[in-house]
Amino acid sequence: MKKVRVEYEVYEYKELSKESKEKVLQEWYKNEDYPMLTDNLNETLKELLKENKIKETGETKLTYSLSYSQGDGLNFTGNFEWKKYTIKITHTWRYEFASSSDITVMDENGEEINSEKVEKQFKSIYLDICNELEKQGYAELEYRMNDEEMQELCDMNGYNFSKDGKMMNL
C-alpha cells in the first residue's frame, strides 16, 4: 500500500481574477432555489391585505409562476372580509396570472351582490396587490450579489477556490 499526498493551490475569493469571480457568481446562482421566496411573498401579502383593510377569514393561498413565460403571474385565493362585504377569491385556471381569478362579492347575508362599482373597486385592489407581489418576486429572482457581498459570504463561510473559480472546499 502506498500513501499519496496531493496538494492543491487554493485561493480566497479576493485573490481571484475578475473572470474567475464571475464564474463563482454564475455557479452560485446556477442551482439557486430561492427557499425564502414564498415566505417573503406571503409576509408582504399579509401586510398589503392589512394596509387595504382586507381581513382574512380562512386560509389564504398564494401561487405563482415567475419564469417570464406566457401565462406567468401571481394570484392569491381565500375568503376575506372587506368593508361590509364577504369576498371569495378562487382560481381554477392553469395559468397563475391575477386577472384569471374569480372574485365573488357577497353581502352580510351571504347573497352575491350585483354592484359593478363595488366589484370593480375590490378587483382593482386585488390586482394592485398581485402586481406588487409579482414585482417583488421577480426582483428577488433577478437579484445578484455584487462582488463585495460575495466576498463577505465567502469570508464568512471560509470558501476557497481553484485559480479558475471552482470551489475547492475539501
Whether the full predicted model's pTM is greater than 0.95, yes or no, is no
Calculate mean pLDDT across residues 120-144: 95
Q: How far is CA 133 from the centre of its chain?
A: 8
CB-count burial class (<10 Å; 0-12, 13-18, 19+) for 28:
middle
What is d(CA 38, CA 137) in angstroms, rounded to the nearest whole number? 9
Which three cell numbers mark 65? 409562476
Share of the chain above pLDDT 70, in %: 99
Q: To the nearest 10°, the Cα dihedral for 19, 23, 24, 30?
A: 160
- At 71 the pLDDT is 82
- Phi/psi region, residue 99 (left: phi>0; alpha: psi -120 to 50; beta: rest), is alpha
Question: Which pLDDT tens digit goes with each residue over 16-57?
Answer: 999 999 999 999 888 777 879 999 999 999 999 999 999 999
- At 170 the pLDDT is 60
What is d(CA 28, CA 34) in angstroms, rounded to the nearest whole number? 12
List CB contacts of 144: < 8 A, sequence separation 6 or more. 25, 29
What is d(CA 160, CA 1) in angstroms, rounded to the nearest whole number? 31
What is d(CA 40, CA 46) in angstroms, rounded to the nearest whole number? 10
